[in-house]
Structure 1
Amino acid sequence: MELSAPAPLQRVDPAMLRPIDHILLRGDPARLALDGRSGSYSFAELEDTLGRLAGWLAGFGLGQGARVASWIAKGPVAALMPLAAPRAGLVHVPVNPLLKHAQVAHILADSGARLLIGTAARLDTLGAGDVPPDCQLHREDDAACAMSGGPTLGPSQAAPDDLAAILYTSGSTGRPKGVMLSHANLWLGAVAVADYLGMDSDDRTACVLPFSFDYGQNQLFSTWVAGGCVYPLDYLTPRDVMKLVDRRDITTLAGVPPLWVQLAELDWPAEVAAKLKRLTNSGGALTRPLVAKLRALFPQADIYPMYGLTEAFRSTYLPPALVDSHPDSMGRAIPFAEIMVVRADGSITDDDEPGELVHCGPLVAQGYWNDAPRTAERFRPAPPASIYGGMAVWSGDTVRRDADGLLFFVGRDDAMIKSAGNRISPTEIEEAAVAVPGVAEAVALGVKDDRLGQAVLLLIRADPAIVPSVAAHLKSELPNFMQPRDILVLDAFPRNPNGKIDRVALTKDYAA
């Protein structure tokens, strides 16, 4: 089939930019904006509720730019915190609900959070030393109560470049790092996604992804900027998702490959499947067999494969019309993104020549919070050929661009493990393993898994008898998605000429 011409690169008209907390003002005040187990809200009602939550946050007197973390279940509080904190002049730090006390302690300390709002059960898991001395703890119920009455705060006058959020994402080494997102980053991301998905006020989005992810948070923003309604869901089983689609006439569902695998195994009534208009995927590639299953189950739905990185939100998407003919492609740049494939010297590659994907333009984040060295590694001046210029994200991912301008993923340069849409730091798993007495060394690798994309394989140098103790320790200290599928004991690890563990050799022997 003939490929459509690439969309023109979109310049940003400053007049279109708004503080992210203005997003609810875009919708029809009388239309439904949020619905779920905790009640329903029109756009007008949700805007009023947002004002009260922001007023409550402002009442703590934390000071402009102070960080406020949330570790809560999906619902009105979780949906409004990304807007309420910036409206109060604060910076929101969402915490993945699956994390455990050690990861939360790192995020609180690294961000310098002055306030943590969490569910009672989660706050009770925090031990001595997990919470910084100047960080207050408040239960989610306190925030929910404040939203029903109390002082209100009107729309902010934040500047486009003002910091609005810090989203923590794992790197290939060390602890998770906080990506700094401005009001403009969040606003333009919402407008871009709503635009290329063709969303409007009749759309109803099932929000099944965690709001701590940029992809999950954008479920809210892109729907609201289009005037549609969101339905937050903390699902227990894939069948819960199917029931929500049926009960609420869901039109839009965002997921990661493991969720699509599970949903494709269900027996979908034709009339329920027909309600979905679009399926969006990120956090890993869709396989050809999975695309075929989704096509058969949801013949009326458009499929949107997407590629992104938290440091620049979203980079590319593949138009639904090209999914069948080019199922392995990452597509082309989304609106407001300039995507380049460059050589090591920054020059543009030829067609089909592998190179590094570099993302330029206004979706590029402001760097890593309190981490100048790692910021300098990833955020560097744009290549000379860039139209936008300024700072760019050098992804570390190798891709190629064909003669039609479509991009194809070649490989990941770092050691990240990507499992079920989660970016996992091998170092974090290894540090937890060697904390067990008797474990001399540990290496975590990603191995191919048909359901997860990658599973974790943990190699340790230790007495085989302590494997159960290692497994038990990891279960107590790490979230479920970081748990190794297998733990293997080696007598020795291979070394490179510098005396370091030879990860390349281990990957070849155990993860190829």
Structure 2
Amino acid sequence: MSINCIRSILEDAVQGDSEKTALLLNGKAMSYAELFSRVNQVACYLNELGLPKNARIGVYSNKGLEQVIAILAILSTDYVLVPLTRLLKPEQVEYIINDCDIKCIITDRIKLESIDEIQFDGHVISFESAAKDVASFDEIYKYYNKPYSCDISGHNNAVITYSFGLTGTPKGIVISHRNLVDSARVVSQYLKLESDDVLSGILMFNLDYGLNQIFCSFYKRATLALHRFILPEDFFNHLIDDEVSVLALMPVNISQMFDEGSQRVPSPELFDKLRIITSSGGNVTERMISDCQSAFPQASFYSMHGLTEAFRSTYLDPAQVQIRPDSIGKPIPDVELYVLNEEGKECAPREVGELIHRGGYIYRGFWNGPEENKQRFKSIEILKDVIDLEGQLTDETVVATGDYVYKDEEGYFYFVSRHDDMIKTRGFRVSPFEVESVVRKNLPQIGQCAVFSIENELIEEEIVLVYSAAHEIPEEEILFELKKHLASYMIPSKVVYKKSLPLVQSDKNQVNKDELKQELTA
């Protein structure tokens, strides 16, 4: 068994702390021994399906203990996990199924209807007993009790996570077992996680930031307390009742916590166990930091900056949060960062250029994405004017992030913009092309449309749809149709009608979004 796989971390945890609580959910505790037993039962069943080696298995469900069991069971086989956020619509799930050829989907009773809608012809497994022709975890726990063993290579593909890429269709990024373990290792190190920590599991497990909470917890033999954020009151009760000490958030979660003001936040003394807060997936504002520090005065606040193509690039030490709140920090351990101008030279302090990530935590690449791989994964030769390539060794891969940043005189990095026009809202990346395509396909009465973003402090960027048509269409009608085809975080918050849209002078087929944005923000 490779030491660089999640299965190895789980086996070490159960051997050292079998009776310790591994998972918590709504007061229900599951020990490492019980978790390990159930993971083995599900993994044994998956192996007996006879799927090809490296076959992709999707997990499409709401948050729960069984969701974590499913994730760990897949990672205990030669198969590859494809986590699917519950926010995706059936047609988006169908696209991902076809793109990476998913052979099996593990789901819950609620999402079974969506699977039926897309007429998936692979294996379907439900957490609960649902239908005679659908296997369930209930049955697996009852009948699969034989010993299970496996031998996982750290170099194997482990996970394919999907986000919306430059072409407007979801692109999967391939993550190895070693990537997952290295990420757990480095976060545990710079956050100084301990075995008696209770990590909050409020993030969704469809992307690496959320998955990392599971793996960090088990790497340190700590406890993961699951919670689905719906109401701030319930969330605060989760922190208090589960005695959470480490809280990973996205900026949108911080906005949700304090959207009705601080008068609804419990007394700070009730959060005396909370010692660490992390934020990634978007830029945090000074107000967000201030709100967290007022509500959780005992907690150190870590702001972090990650990539699609690599786990993480930077973090800002809590001691610097008040001094330079706009900074994304300095490189995490084992990472080197460079800022290059268009000539490939290193930028001077405060000169804006593209962020280049070298060192650890670089992922395998985009699934079925040769153009994206060519654009983002580069030979270290692009740093030839910055570092000494001794021995002409140029086979190392670095990431040209597409993020434009600058570095100050003390080595702290500051995010400026993205190279492409991707929208970052509520912790998600949204392609304007994806939304525009749905409009063109499903709202034929609309002549032209343009989707772009404007700044919104609470959610980072707000999605705007501007359209032209023979006459104005009720906004409710447009949103009703879009909600049939797009995840909730992709729905525009502003819909604007114009008799005609401005066009780019050099390309009369292209709407001038910059002009529209200026009109709206004037």
Superposition deviation, residue 326 in structure 1: 1.4
Tell me the equivalent position of 1:21: 7
Question: Are residues 1:446 and 2:426 paired?
Answer: no
Tell me the equivalent position of 2:491: 483
Give the distance between the partners of 1:405 and 1:182, measured in 2 at CA.
Answer: 31
Letter in 2 for 1:112: D
Give the distance between the partners of 1:460 and 1:116, measured in 2 at CA.
Answer: 38
Give the distance between the partners of 1:192 and 1:199, measured in 2 at CA.
Answer: 10
Retained in 2: the 8 A contact 1:337–1:359? Answer: yes
Question: Are residues 1:46 and 2:56 paired?
Answer: no
Q: Any idea what SS the aligned residue of 2:309 has?
A: helix
Give the distance between the partners of 1:38 and 1:483, measured in 2 at CA.
Answer: 35
Give the distance between the partners of 1:38 and 1:145, measured in 2 at CA.
Answer: 24
Q: Any idea what SS the aligned residue of 1:310 has?
A: coil
Superposition deviation, residue 64 in structure 1: 0.5
Superposition deviation, residue 268 in structure 1: 1.8
Tell me the equivalent position of 1:366: 364
Deviations 1:343-371 (A, max 9, x none): 22433222222111111223111111112
Superposition deviation, residue 285 in structure 1: 1.5
Tell me the equivalent position of 1:12: none
Mapping for residues 307-456 of structure 1, pairs under 5 Å: 307-382=305-380, 383-384=383-384, 385=386, 390-434=396-440, 435-456=442-463
Mapping for residues 92-241 of structure 1, pairs under 5 Å: 92-126=81-115, 130-133=118-121, 135-141=122-128, 142-147=136-141, 149-151=143-145, 154=148, 156-241=150-235
Give the distance between the partners of 1:41 and 1:243, measured in 2 at CA.
Answer: 20
Retained in 1: the 8 A contact 2:2–2:154? Answer: no
Superposition deviation, residue 131 in structure 1: 4.3
Letter in 2 for 1:409: F
Tell me the equivalent position of 2:77: 88
Deviations 1:423-467 (A, max 9, x none): 111111111112212012221111222321111111111221354
Which of the residues 472, 488, 495 maps onto 1:464? 472
Which of the residues 510, 513, 521 maps onto 1:503? 513
Structure 1 residues 148 and 276, CA gap change in structure 2 (3 angstroms): farther
Superposition deviation, residue 507 in structure 1: 2.9
Tell me the equivalent position of 2:46: 57
Between 395-404 and 137-146, the greater mean CA deviation after superposition: 137-146
Give the distance between the partners of 1:439 and 1:288, measured in 2 at CA.
Answer: 40
Superposition deviation, residue 110 in structure 1: 0.6
TM-score, scaled relative to structure 2 = 0.90
Deviations 1:186-229 (A, max 9, x none): 11011111111110101001101100021111111112111110
Runs of at least 4 residues of structure 1 off by over 4 A?
151-155, 385-389
Letter in 1 for 2:163: T
Q: Any idea what SS the aligned residue of 2:517 has?
A: helix
Question: Are residues 1:286 and 2:273 paired?
Answer: no
Superposition deviation, residue 153 in structure 1: 6.4
Give the distance between the partners of 1:312 and 1:147, measured in 2 at CA.
Answer: 36
Letter in 2 for 1:391: T
Give the distance between the partners of 2:107 and 2:450, measured in 1 at CA.
Answer: 33
Structure 1 residues 170 and 349, CA gap change in structure 2 (3 angstroms): same
Give the distance between the partners of 1:139 and 1:253, measured in 2 at CA.
Answer: 30
Superposition deviation, residue 262 in structure 1: 2.6
Retained in 1: the 8 A contact 2:404–2:416? Answer: yes
Structure 1 residues 338 and 147, CA gap change in structure 2 (3 angstroms): farther
Superposition deviation, residue 294 in structure 1: 1.5
Superposition deviation, residue 136 in structure 1: 2.4
Superposition deviation, residue 390 in structure 1: 1.5
Give the distance between the partners of 1:193 and 1:324, measured in 2 at CA.
Answer: 22
Tell me the equivalent position of 2:239: 245
Structure 1 residues 242 and 179, CA gap change in structure 2 (3 angstroms): same
For structure 1, which runs of at least 5 residues remain unmatched after alignment? 1-14
Give the distance between the partners of 2:82 and 2:27, measured in 1 at CA.
Answer: 23
Tell me the equivalent position of 2:131: none
Give the distance between the partners of 2:351 and 2:146, measured in 1 at CA.
Answer: 56
Retained in 1: the 8 A contact 2:503–2:511? Answer: yes
Superposition deviation, residue 511 in structure 1: 5.2
Give the distance between the partners of 1:356 and 1:151, measured in 2 at CA.
Answer: 54
Q: Any idea what SS the aligned residue of 2:224 has?
A: strand
Structure 1 residues 233 and 415, CA gap change in structure 2 (3 angstroms): same
Give the distance between the partners of 2:421 and 2:113, measured in 1 at CA.
Answer: 34
Give the distance between the partners of 2:269 and 2:149, measured in 1 at CA.
Answer: 42
Give the distance between the partners of 2:149 and 2:280, measured in 1 at CA.
Answer: 32
Q: Any idea what SS the aligned residue of 1:357 has?
A: strand
Structure 1 residues 269 and 26, CA gap change in structure 2 (3 angstroms): farther
Give the distance between the partners of 1:269 and 1:433, measured in 2 at CA.
Answer: 47
Retained in 1: the 8 A contact 2:79–2:158? Answer: yes
Give the distance between the partners of 2:236 and 2:67, measured in 1 at CA.
Answer: 22
Give the distance between the partners of 2:429 and 2:12, measured in 1 at CA.
Answer: 33
How many pairs are equivalent?
Answer: 496
For structure 2, which runs of at least 5 residues remain unmatched after alignment? 129-135
Letter in 2 for 1:415: D
Which of the residues 288, 294, 297 maps onto 2:295? 297
Structure 1 residues 502 and 428, CA gap change in structure 2 (3 angstroms): same
Letter in 1 for 2:419: D
Give the distance between the partners of 1:402 and 1:17, measured in 2 at CA.
Answer: 39
Letter in 1 for 2:126: R
Give the distance between the partners of 1:151 and 1:121, measured in 2 at CA.
Answer: 28
Retained in 1: the 8 A contact 2:455–2:461? Answer: yes
Structure 1 residues 401 and 302, CA gap change in structure 2 (3 angstroms): same
Structure 1 residues 508 and 381, CA gap change in structure 2 (3 angstroms): farther
Superposition deviation, residue 504 in structure 1: 2.7
Question: Are residues 1:71 and 2:27 paired?
Answer: no
Retained in 2: the 8 A contact 1:358–1:395? Answer: yes
Retained in 1: the 8 A contact 2:55–2:80? Answer: yes
Give the distance between the partners of 1:470 and 1:263, measured in 2 at CA.
Answer: 30
Aligned-pair Cα RMSD in Å: 2.1
Superposition deviation, residue 271 in structure 1: 2.4
Give the distance between the partners of 1:261 and 1:321, measured in 2 at CA.
Answer: 22
Q: Any idea what SS the aligned residue of 1:125 has?
A: helix
Deviations 1:274-299 (A, max 9, x none): 22111110111211122122112111
Retained in 2: the 8 A contact 1:352–1:402? Answer: yes
Give the distance between the partners of 1:152 and 1:318, measured in 2 at CA.
Answer: 48
Percent same amino acid among aligned pairs?
Answer: 29
Between 216-225 and 73-82, the greater mean CA deviation after superposition: 73-82
Structure 1 residues 177 and 38, CA gap change in structure 2 (3 angstroms): farther
TM-score, scaled relative to structure 1 = 0.92
Give the distance between the partners of 2:288 and 2:225, measured in 1 at CA.
Answer: 25
